[in-house]
Amino acid sequence: MANSKEQFGSRFAAIAALAGSAIGLGCIWRFPYMVGENGGAVYIIIYVIATLLLCIPIFFAEFIIGRRSGANCLGAMRKLAPGTPWKWLGVLCTLTPMIILCYYSVVGGWSITYLLKSFNLGYPASFAAFSASTWAPLCAFVVYLGLTCLIVVGGIKKGIAAFTKVSIPLLFALIVFLSVYSITLKGSSAGVDYLFRPDWSKVDAHVVINALGQGFYSLSLGMGIIVTYASYISKKDDMVVAGLGTAGFTLFFALLAGLAIMPAVFAAGIEPASGPGLIFDSLPFIFTSLSSTYPVLGTVVAVLFFFSVSIAALTSSISLVEVPVAWLIEEKGFRRGRAVLLVFVIGLIGGVPCALNTGIFQSFDLLCCNVLLPVGGLLCVLFVGWKMKREDVWDEFTNGGSLKWNVRLFGFVRFVLSYLAPVAILAVFVSNFI
């Protein structure tokens, strides 16, 4: 199918955008505390295996839908399965990122608040008190959502690609610096051990399921982002390279984020399983105590850390905004500026209650992670594994048979998509309710 719309422009730009979507709060905020709550190294090992065996093939399924159709999620279903109930998959994949955007931007707002507070190390007394207050989280949320929308207004090449091409390499440089710094702290080796020395007695069904869920979350699967971004990728590009590149960068970044955080947490004698407040409570404590001995260094490290968190969040939330924006432009004839404005307004309406009430925030998070993402992912793999014609899937996966490696991999990928992935996703889905 012809694809004459705007594209990312180069393979590097495409991988930077995909990796930018993947590398976000999931890696730098969620991953470290999930590692802490799920037994350390064993969780990481299962997360890596789940990503390689299962999440990358699911990534291919979404990529195939997006690039084959060259359209947004609803347009993709209209083109690939016209007049069928599959259109509801398109509806789901367009709505889910919109719902995620509402509460994700609240966490984005927390990050920019902590970034600003880092300049004088004047952090709130506790993260719980800060997140339960009214004005500061609310204003930060609005500013963060506005920043996200400003980038998306710039378009695919001049907005999203331009931003991610610069920020992803910068983010890697910052996180490498922070992890080297963290592992050189006195008493940090217990944190490194915790990350890399597996204690197999800690493995149980919940650890496995949480690790798989993390793979899903961090690769931005099941929410239309890969479908939408793949529609901006050249027909000549190799999706295996894109998938392995994205997953490789994401895994590497998550490990570096773990290395930047856990050794420092152990060095400061803080409990690693302290939940979602881990980076917002523990790290300010570490930076403040560091600055009592080295004032400049403490501030510099604090600013760099929360700058990294904010940039990682932004490169992901722009992908959340782009999904409904693509639908409004392609299906409803909106101009980009107006489409982004409408998404901004809806994001405000949905996000204000999340910023003001932690119960609503948690309900949005639970609804998305435990229901909408697994259902969206499951339907995508079923669509490619069972509904699309085998020849079409083969043609898209192998670029018409020209990519020899992909020809060899095809049988395995199709097996995973038809059998293994649906069963695994169902297991994660059902386990959330047991």
> In the bound complex, what is the minimum distance in angstroms from residue 242's beta carbon to ligand PFF?
15
DSSP 58-99: HHHHHHHHHHHHTS-HHHHHHHHSTTSTTHHHHHHHHHHHHH
For residue 151, the minimal CB distance to ligand PFF (Å) is 15
Count of CB atoms within 10 A of residue 184's CB? Answer: 10
Q: Is 311 in the site for ligand PFF (CB under 6 A)?
A: no
CB of 313 to ligand PFF, least distance (A): 7
By CB under 6 A, which span of 23-31, 39-47, 125-133, 405-413 interacts with ligand PFF?
A: 23-31
Q: Contacting ligand PFF (CB under 6 A), which of 13, 18, 22, 207?
A: 22
Which residues lie below 8 Å from residue 313, measured CB to CB, with a gap of 6+?
A: 24, 25, 104, 107, 108, 111, 144
Rule CB under 6 A: say whether 265 interacts with ligand PFF: no
- Choose between 18 and 328: whose C-beta lies nearer to ligand PFF: 18
Close Cβ partners of 202 (under 8 Å, ≥ 6 residues apart): 38, 39, 40, 42, 43
Q: Given candidates 114, 130, 194, 217, which one binds ligand PFF under the rule CB under 6 A?
A: 217
The answer to whether 317 touches 101, Cβ cutoff 8 Å, is: yes
Among 20, 26, 70, 284, binds ligand PFF (CB under 6 A): 26
Q: Between residues 20 and 75, which has the closer beta carbon with respect to ligand PFF? A: 20
**How far apart, in whole angstroms, are the C-alpha atoms of residue 265 and residue 317?**
27
Q: Smallest distance from the beta carbon of 175 to ligand PFF, in angstroms?
A: 14
Kindly state whether residue 413 participates in binding ligand PFF, applying the rule CB under 6 A: no
Does residue 70 contact residue 3 with C-beta atoms inside 8 Å? yes
What does the alpha-carbon distance between residue 109 and residue 135 come to, in Å, rounded to a whole number?
A: 12
Q: Is 316 in the site for ligand PFF (CB under 6 A)?
A: yes
DSSP for 354-394 reads HHH-HHHHHHHHHIIIIIIHHHHHHHHHHIIIIIS-HHHHH
How many angstroms from the chain centroid is the CA of residue 236? Answer: 26
Output the smallest distance, CB 254 to ligand PFF, in A.
9
Instruction: Give min distance, CB of 318 to ligand PFF, in A.
Output: 10
Say how many residues touch ligand PFF, by CB under 6 A: 14
Instruction: Work out which of 13, 14, 18, 25 binds ligand PFF, going by CB under 6 A.
Output: 25
Q: Which stretch binds ligand PFF (CB under 6 A): 16-24, 192-200, 202-210, 262-270?
A: 16-24
Residues 157-216 that bind ligand PFF (CB under 6 A): none
Nearer to ligand PFF, 27 or 416 (CB): 27
| Residue with nearest beta carbon to ligand PFF | 26
Rg of the Cα trace of the chain? Answer: 21
Residue 217: phi and psi, rounded to 5, are -60, -50
Q: Which of 369, 416, 424, 425 binds ligand PFF (CB under 6 A)?
A: 369
Binding flag, residue 218, ligand PFF (CB under 6 A): yes
d(CA 25, CA 31): 8
Q: Which residues ranging from 35 to 94 are in contact with ligand PFF (CB under 6 A)?
A: none
As a whole number of angstroms, the distance between CA 23 and CA 171 comes to 10
Is residue 100 at the binding interface for ligand PFF, with CB under 6 A as the rule?
yes
Rounded CA-CA distance 321/342 in Å is: 10
99 binds ligand PFF (CB under 6 A): no
Binding site for ligand PFF (CB under 6 A): 21-22, 24-27, 100, 104, 217-218, 220, 316, 368-369
